[in-house]
Amino acid sequence: MHSFTITRIDIFKFSLPLIRPLRIAIGEFTHSDGILIRIWAGDQLYGLGEASPAPFITGETQATCFEAGRQLAPLLLGKDALDIESRMRELNAALVHHSSVKCAFDMALYDLAAKGLGLPLYAFLGGGRRDFYTDFTIGIDTPEAMAEAAAQLKASGAYAIKAKLGTTLAADVARIRAIRAAIGDEMPLRIDANQGWDEATAIATLRALEPFQIQYCEQPVVHWNLTALQRVRSLSPIPIMADESLFDHHDAFRLASMGACDYFNIKLGKAGGIHTARKIVAIAEAAGIPCMVGCFTETLLGISTGVHFVSAYPHIIFADLDSLYFYADAPITGGALYDGAHAMPSDAPGHGADVKPEALEQMEGVTIAGQG
């Protein structure tokens, strides 16, 4: 049997420009300034993970992820990669928060373990292979520009539209009116305020948007005010999904206990990876709260892990895993199988994605290895 003792860890920086900037209520994405973690067991077997830090959401940058990775990596050397529970407990005990870089370690550990056992990640997680549809995200812009983007997405075969909002009542209603007119009444339309409204504006805007058949609204108010989120949910005609208020299983328990939302948006980059995301799903299922898996600006490598995670858990009924389309040419091979909005995990061992060797050679990086 293959040894699963961790022998060395590589940490790389990479930067990729988005095809177009993505503006949300609290910031703007123009690049993915990410981190890759490669964890080795021996000289042949490795797992890969990706961090996609969002400074205005997770509080991390590429620089902080890189330095945190350098501090965390030595804790794993010489230890069993299959004991993911212990490895992630060690990382979480050594450094609180820093969910993006922990996600990269977690992703690499799950990839390594599943590869070593010859299993696709969904099967390693105990789930089955299923296909599903992702929505496509439109950033904040003028009503005309957002409507045009929505019409183009519909024409290209998109399944659902997710529109970023979170400005003023009048402007946001104008955006949704224009989008709905462009795509018709049948196409699912979701909105995401990214904490942009205060409580009164959230309630007024959601009531004004009721005629436009909105499937749900993500994070209408600031992340820390769960009481406001609960009140908005109680007065909103549109279901409410928690996003920035939900990082880990402790948040999930609080949100469920308060009845603060109708849905959970699980992002691996907020949860610190699969290890904690699984606990969120368990709490959600116990509380009767359906889930979505979302993304930041991950390449197909990070997105593939999300696709496997969705596949493994039937309680996850929505997907917002479209960031692979943010890039013109990301250096990723393999990975999840996409046909427009239609996604399915591959049957390759692990998450199935890898990075082109020539791209790795161009990246700044460091190797953390044991003695001898």
Q: What is the DSSP letter of 147?
A: H
Banded pLDDT at 372 (limits 50, 70, 90): very low
The Cα–Cα gap between 321 and 325 comes to: 9
Residue 251 has pLDDT above 60, yes or no: yes
| Residue pair 42/23 in contact by the 8 Å Cβ criterion | no
The Cα–Cα gap between 355 and 36 comes to: 9
Residue 47 has pLDDT above 90, yes or no: yes
Question: Which residue in this structure is represented by tokens 């994605």?
Answer: 353
List, in sequence order, every residue forming a beta bridge with 136; answer none if it has no partner.
161
Residue 138 has pLDDT above 80, yes or no: yes
Q: Using a pLDDT cut of 90, give the percent of the chain over it.
A: 98
Q: In the predicted model, what is the mean pLDDT of residues 14-38?
A: 96
Among the listed residues 355, 294, 321, 341, the one whose alpha carbon sits nearest the alpha carbon of residue 111: 355
Domain made up of 123-354: CATH architecture: Alpha-Beta Barrel (3.20)
Does the annotation count 243 as an active-site position?
yes
Residue 371 has pLDDT above 70, yes or no: no
Banded pLDDT at 72 (limits 50, 70, 90): very high
- Nearest-5° Cα angle at 276, 300 to 305: 15
Of the candidates 102, 154, 162, 164, the residue annotated as catalytic is 164
Of the candidates 172, 192, 251, 354, the residue annotated as catalytic is 192
| Helices and strands (DSSP H and E) totals, the chain | 13, 17
Average pLDDT, the chain: 97
Of the candidates 154, 267, 322, 354, the residue annotated as catalytic is 267
The dihedral built from the CA positions of residue 358, 81, 292 and 52, taken in this order, carries a sign that is negative
Structure-derived torsion over alpha carbons of residues 314, 316, 320, 324, reported in degrees to the nearest 10: -50
Max CA pair span of the chain: 67
Of the candidates 218, 244, 251, 322, the residue annotated as catalytic is 218
Of the candidates 243, 244, 251, 320, the residue annotated as catalytic is 243
Angle of helix 84-94 relative to helix 99-116, nearest 10 degrees, comes to 160
Q: What is the DSSP letter of 324?
A: G
The Cα–Cα gap between 208 and 351 comes to: 42
> Going by C-beta distance under 8 Å and a sequence separation of 6 or more, which residues neighbour residue 112?
4, 39, 41, 45, 46, 47, 81, 350
Residue 66 has pLDDT above 50, yes or no: yes
Does the annotation count 33 as an active-site position?
no
The CATH class for the domain spanning 8-118+356-369 reads alpha beta
Backbone angles phi, psi at 167, to 5 degrees: -110, -110
Given this model, what pLDDT does residue 370 score?
A: 77
Banded pLDDT at 2 (limits 50, 70, 90): low
| Per-residue pLDDT tens digits for 275-331 | 999 999 999 999 999 999 999 999 999 999 999 999 999 999 999 999 999 999 999
Residues of the chain with CATH 3.20.20.120: 123-354
Which residue did the predictor score with more confidence, 372 or 242? 242
Q: What is the DSSP letter of 286?
A: H
Residues of the chain with CATH 3.30.390.10: 8-118+356-369
Does the annotation count 111 as an active-site position?
no
| Per-residue pLDDT tens digits for 198-249 | 999 999 999 999 999 999 999 999 999 999 999 999 999 999 999 999 999 9
Predicted TM-score (pTM) of the model is 0.97
Given this model, what pLDDT does residue 3 score?
A: 79
